[in-house]
Amino acid sequence: MKSIKTAGLIFANPFIAASGTFGYADSYLDFYHPDLLGGFVLKGISLEPRKGNPPMRIIETPSGMINAIGLENIGIERLIKDKIPFIETLHSVAIANLYAETKDDFIKLTEKINEIKRIDAIEINISCPNVKSGGMQFGVSPKMTEYLTKNIKKVSSKPVIVKLSPNVADIGEIAKAAEGAGADALSLINTISAMIIDTKTMLPALANVTGGLSGPAILPIAVRMVYQVYEAVSIPIIGGGGISSANDALQFVMAGASLVSIGTYNFISPASIPVIIKQFNNEVKKTDYSYSDLIGIAHRQHST
């Protein structure tokens, strides 16, 4: 497959490891080299280190998991000092995932990332359901999405990808707000707000009460949202949510995604992305269409 140019970046293949499931690109070295990926998104990073939420904060569910990690991370200074030197040795597209509670902190974080040459793009997380402030609060409002995206675009020297929340009534409206504010690409979906009750203790099982559902259980919802966003905007889409096979990935491409992301499946089968990439290339060949013709083809097939 030819490389894919999206948002001014060149991806060797359409597969991206999703934020929060791939550490700082050094977690899966026992299984494969990150250069086999089109790109990877680092764990969400904030200005200061964060401890995240207390346990229980991860629960397995039928065909998925619920997490309420609460954006535990090492903070920007340690990212620069301890993790960037390894990332500098890599060649695939490196995307930083940013989290802040206020616009001003998002701006400060963006300015810090501007200084890191090896980071190719930023993904702004305005869709985390597991933190008290910031996160999803921004991403469920078109006005806030527009305001934040506009301000970050003003200072960012790198392409800006806005990561959308599925926890909204009309995802097309939020996508349009991000596009209108100058976003270079959109990424969707983040996890779906969910909860589990422990029937023995009769309490919510997560200390945070609610968490975010991910994994194969959410795939059809994510495909639907990518399909809707493709109709609403013309900027590129990174689509994901529950992908665990080449065929799953192909669904996202046909719905309108230019690139696809794999998250939770990394925990289930840590060596799998390179295998899926090979299978995906074969699946694409079997269709007799070029990769670029397959992007959004379900819309065109539907209207003929």
Ligand X SMILES: Cc1cc2nc3c(=O)[nH]c(=O)nc-3n(C[C@H](O)[C@H](O)[C@H](O)COP(=O)(O)O)c2cc1C
Residue ranges in contact with ligand X by CB under 6 A: 18-21, 43-44, 67, 69, 71, 97, 125, 128, 163, 190-191, 214-215, 218, 240-243, 262-265
Burial pattern 67-96, b for ≥16 Cβ within 10 A else e, equals bbbbbebbebeebbeebbeebeebebbbbb
DSSP state of 34: G
| Nearest in space to 131 (alpha carbons), one of 57, 30, 215 | 57
Cα 32 to Cα 273, 281, 292: the distances in Å are 9, 18, 27
Catalytic residue among 16, 128, 237, 259: 128
**Please, what is the minimum distance in Å from the beta carbon of residue 293 to ligand X?**
25
Contacts of 159 (CB under 8 A, 6+ apart): 7, 8, 9, 120, 121, 122, 184, 185
The residue whose two tokens read 């990690």 is 69
**Please, what is the minimum distance in Å from the beta carbon of residue 2 to ligand X?**
25
Under DSSP, is residue 109 helix (H, G, I), strand (E, B) or coil? helix
Beta bridge partners of 68: none
128 is catalytic: yes
Total residues belonging to the chain? 304
Whether omega for the bond prior to residue 189 falls within 30 degrees of 0, making it cis, is: yes
Which CB, 6 or 165, lies closer to ligand X? Answer: 165
Which CB, 69 or 84, lies closer to ligand X? Answer: 69
| The two structure tokens encoding residue 231 | 């109709």
- The CA distance from 291 to 3, in Å, is 10
Which residues are marked as active site? 128
